[in-house]
Structure 1
């Protein structure tokens, strides 16, 4: 079990002082825990000895061991398919059934990663017509952002897909207004330049929704909403199906909150997209 899960499981067992500390740790996980204990003490407004007692509750002999565990978690975030390959990943007599059973477990785990309250907050942000919506993903996960953008554009206006090349970022950053939303998707092995984009979005007072794995992309630092979802399929490839499931689950309420407006937009969209038969003949 990683540190984040341990903290969340402690729940009601925490003292008021410890809750202040865990709020700081989880708001900027795992990076807040890698700061010197004196800096963390100032940020959380609690004493260093109180922090030491808390990490003892997590089974750590001291703050140094606590930080070593966080570093190990970060290392897991850089594993390649070669590192993940095992000798008996699936049942080769029934590979499809074997793999799908693994995916079922991942999707079931998604329920524990996104609370109903957080799901509603994310919907509120993406539904707000006063906010422009921007999306981008990593080297592989950008396909999920692209999927989300193409659907959301049919539901509402002002939805943009930020290109992966930094050369084009200024155009989108210049369009961005305070409180506009940037949804980023990044899984291990993380996309380094997304951290730079995230910093620039926050400097322009944009709000970020970040979908990542349990090891947390470095670019997620300071995110307004952080969703860490299960991706470990037990094979050499991490699975992005839970991320697609989350996106599809979001699209349903986003479309249905104002169904009349959505229906009219889709109808007009289809009308403009359709090509008259005589034009096709030409």
Structure 2
């Protein structure tokens, strides 16, 4: 299958019957582990019959339950491969010198896959939360995702106040936790391989009463167990690096949607920021012109 089973379920959820939706939701709640066990255990968890699970598996494109499980195992194998392992596999195959047009096609496909599988209800819930100007928003990530979190915080701060980027550093993260409390929001980016520091930080914020908005990949960061909202990136990896295009697009879509919800506040805030920037430049220039 071209996309993950998770993405398939999310994209087709509205077309499922009530019984099929129970099966799909049970799998999403314990993805992918529920589908790796016996069909009887799956059915019990979903509160349906064994034949209902079997018909559902056939409904989403598998000839039998065994092939469905093989697909899940394939996803796990892909998820467990490190960037170095992916690079080794890539360079052992033919056609490693892909043209720029081919690379752009892959990027476009990664973005299209994310759009297709995006949970629209979760996205709207995230926008509603971020568009509440009185709450404080903290944004953080790990070694790989910190630049995404930083850029997201920077652009969101143009649309609304009370936005803070949390450095990917244990000591600095602790300082942020000291200021975090109930009704605050932590937006955290966490992709494979998931960082223990990010999980510890998210759990600490959760204990303080902060709501967690997780942006992760299709295999779902462990932070998902405590997150209030989960948005997933479904783009496929390249040889050595996983593309940031879908994640960046999702982050910008959130900021644009928040701006659309708060047009007047965003306009006033941008004007104020630009005026302060201009004033600061003029002040520095005047100071340099003063005699020693």
User: Does the TM-score normalized on the shorter chain lie above 0.5?
Assistant: yes
What value does the CA root-mean-square deviation take over the aligned residues? Answer: 3.2
Q: Per-residue deviation at 1:72?
A: 5.1
Find the counterpart in structure 1 of residue 257 from structure 2: 253
Instruction: Write out per-residue CA displacement over residues 151-184 of structure 1, whole angstroms, 9 at most, x where no aligned residue.
Output: 1112211111122122233332232232322111
In structure 2, C-alpha distance between the alignment counterparts of 1:175 and 1:35, rounded to whole Å: 43
Instruction: Write out per-residue CA displacement over residues 167-206 of structure 1, whole angstroms, 9 at most, x where no aligned residue.
Output: 2333322322323221111222222222222222222332
Instruction: Specify every segment of 5 or more residues in structure 1 that has no aligned partner in the other structure, as ranges.
Output: none
Instruction: Write out per-residue CA displacement over residues 7-56 of structure 1, whole angstroms, 9 at most, x where no aligned residue.
Output: 44664675545533433432453466679999988875x27xx3685267
Of stretches 222-231 and 147-156 in structure 1, the one that deviates more from structure 2 is 222-231
Q: Is the 8 A contact 1:231 1:242 kept in 2?
A: yes
- What are the within-5 Å matches in structure 2 for residues 41-120 of structure 1? 46=47, 50=49, 54=53, 57-58=56-57, 59-61=64-66, 66=69, 70=72, 73-85=75-87, 86=90, 87-88=93-94, 91-92=97-98, 95-120=99-124
Find the counterpart in structure 1 of residue 139 from structure 2: 135
- In structure 2, the CA distance between the partners of 1:266 and 1:14, relative to structure 1 (3 Å rule), is closer
TM-score norm. by structure 2 comes to: 0.78
Q: Is the 8 A contact 1:195 1:220 kept in 2?
A: no
- What are the within-5 Å matches in structure 2 for residues 128-277 of structure 1? 128-273=132-277, 274-275=280-281, 276=283, 277=285
Instruction: Specify every segment of 5 or more residues in structure 2 that has no aligned partner in the other structure, as ranges.
Output: 58-63
SS of aligned partner of 1:77: helix
Q: Is the 8 A contact 1:132 1:180 kept in 2?
A: yes
- In structure 2, the CA distance between the partners of 1:183 and 1:51, relative to structure 1 (3 Å rule), is farther
Aligned residue-pair number: 274
Of stretches 123-132 and 171-180 in structure 1, the one that deviates more from structure 2 is 171-180
SS of aligned partner of 1:208: strand
TM-score norm. by structure 1 comes to: 0.80
Q: Is the 8 A contact 1:79 1:188 kept in 2?
A: no
- In structure 2, the CA distance between the partners of 1:253 and 1:172, relative to structure 1 (3 Å rule), is same
